[in-house]
Each structure stands twice: as C-alpha cells, then as structure tokens.
Amino acid sequence: MPPSPSMRRADWATLLALSALWGGSFFFSKIALGELPPLTVALIRITLAALALLLFLLVTRQTLPKGRAAWTALFGMGFLNNIVPFNLILWGQAHMDHAIATALAAILNATTPLFGVVVAHVLTADEKASPPKILGVGLGLTGVVVMIGPGALDNLGAFLPGELACLCAALSYAFAGVYGRRFRRLGLAPAATAFGQLAASSLMMIPLVGFGERIFEQSLPSLQTIGALCGLAFLSTALAYILYFRLLAAVGATNLLLVTFLIPVSAILLGSLFLGERLSMLHFAGMGLIGLGLAAIDGRLLRWLHRQRAGDALS
C-alpha cells in the first residue's frame, strides 16, 4: 500500500497562502451578509469567480474541461465543495451572533481534518489513518480550542443551528477532498478544474436563488459590499481554488485539509496586522500546538524525535 504523498517546502508555502485566502473569506462574507441574503452572496461569489477563471483560461490558452465524464465529476465536485459548504457557512454566519460569527465559523471549519481523516480512511486505499495522523489531528484541534480561549467557549451551543450548519459544511469539505482525487486521473489542469466546478455550481444555484431570494428584485449594494464580494470571488475563491486543486493533486486529500487548521491562525494574524487586534499568549500557544500537529501529520516531528533518540543512544 503506497504511503500518502509527503509535503515539500513549496507545498507548505502554497498551503499557507491558501489558508490566508480562505481565512479572508470569512471576513468578506461578514461584510456582504450585512446587506445581502446568504444564497445571493454564495451565487455572486461562485459566478464572479467562474467568470474570472474562464477569462484566465482563455488568456493563457489553456484547455477548457471537455467530455461527459469530466463534467459529471465537476458537477459532483461543485455540489460537495461549493453549494453545500458555501451556503451552510453563510447561513450559519447569518444565524449566529454578529460579533462572533466570523471567528466561530472559521473555528468550526477547522474540524474538517477530523472528518477528512475518517472519510479518507474509509473511502481510500492510500490515505489510511495512522498514529501520526491521529496524533497530529488531536494536537491541531487542541490548538484551535486553546486559541479561542475559555471565554469564547461560553458561546458554543448558544447558536446551535448555525454551529451545526458550519460543522456539516466541514463534513462536506472532507468528502470533497476525497472526491476531488479523480481529477488527476481525468487529466484536468488545476485552473480548468477550478473553473469547471464553479461553473457547474453557478448553473445549479441560479434557479434556487432566482426563485428563493428573488435576486433581481434586490437593490444595488453599497461599494463596501461590492468590494467584499469582489474579494470573496476573485481572491478567496478563484485564486484559492487554483491553489487548492494544485495541492490536491500534489499532496493528497488528508494533507490538503490541514489548511482548515491554519485558517483561524490566518484570521487572527490578519486581524492583528490590519484591524489592530491584540494577540494573547493563548493565541501563540494555540499556534504552537497547531504547528506541532502539522509536523506530526507530515512525519517531521516523529523523524526529529527518532534522530534525537538515536543521538542520545550514541552519546
């Protein structure tokens, strides 16, 4: 049985960039939800991102997805990776206390690797759960809990429907990570895969939003909301998905889902740099635990411990 792909330095750099882009999505969503309903925000995000990627593919003269097999897979990926999680997270943010919706949604999203390890173990032959992975997931989840602090835990359960929606979104992301492995066999490039699943998602969303939220009857949003929608679509979706599918092909579903542990870290760091929010010792302690968890799953922590033991035995 072949082992899961290992992470190179370039892969870790891409993972960090992806976590920053997706960490920003919760911030952009919070602004957009101030004026627009959840399904409308999701549709605009998906459609603008699909158009941006289509333009990118045409300018760079890359091949568009072709064939029934490819588009069938893209519709399935769009459902699992866009329609279900985007709408559940937006609905969850809209149904939680406005003051905590962004942070809490990002924190609940960090449970994705837990679901991912289980889903990959059951549905794949080469990404089985191993002691290092289980240890790493446990350390990472502990880091997330430490990072939000004991005071924030008082809010858990106060907005149960929204919290459950975010947890179901995390489960859908886990299934999408495993489902997306098939695109490597289909020979689709990362940008083409990203465009195809977004285009498929847009086609599935238009009737739902058109009848459910009557998008064409809504007034034009403010410039702030339009800016947030552009950031959500072009940065946190179009660019992020190019990186997502590139990583999925290179390092596998389980390693890729580690990005959700880093998203709360990105959100806190961005808040500290641009919003004047202060970092506490709990934040640094949580980030340290997350780092150990990532190292454990990657195997570097255990290799370092083995080298230390070998050195002690020789001394």
Three-state secondary structure of the chain = CCCCCCCCHHHHHHHHHHHHHHHHHHHHHHHHCCCCCHHHHHHHHHHHHHHHHHHHHHHCCCCCCCCHHHHHHHHHHHHHHHHHHHHHHHHHHHCCCCCCHHHHHHHHHCCHHHHHHHHHHHHCCCCCCCHHHHHHHHHHHHHHHHHHHHHHHCCCCCCHHHHHHHHHHHHHHHHHHHHCCHHHHHCCCHHHHHHHHHHHHHHHHHHHHHHHCCHHHCCCCCHHHHHHHHHHHHHHHHHHHHHHHHHHHHHCHHHHCCHHHHHHHHHHHHHHHHCCCCCCHHHHHHHHHHHHHHHHHHCHHHHHHHHHHHHHHHC
In the predicted model, what is the mean pLDDT of residues 291-297?
72
pLDDT tens digit sequence for 172-209: 999 998 898 888 788 888 889 999 999 999 999 988 78
- Say what percent of the chain tops pLDDT 70: 77
Least confident residue range of 44-58, 224-238, 268-282: 268-282
Task: Give the integer Cα–Cα distance in Å for 214 and 211.
Answer: 5
pLDDT tens figures, 111-148:
787 788 888 888 888 778 788 878 877 887 787 777 66
**Using one digit for the tens of pLDDT, what is the confidence trace for 47-105?**
999 999 999 999 999 999 999 999 999 999 999 999 999 889 888 877 765 544 566 67
**Residue 95: predicted pLDDT:** 72
Domain ranges within the chain, ordered by starting residue: 13-314
Confidence band of 159 (pLDDT split at 50, 70, 90): low
pTM score, whole prediction = 0.75
Lowest average pLDDT, out of 216-220, 227-231, 268-272, 290-294, goes to 268-272
pLDDT of res. 204: 93
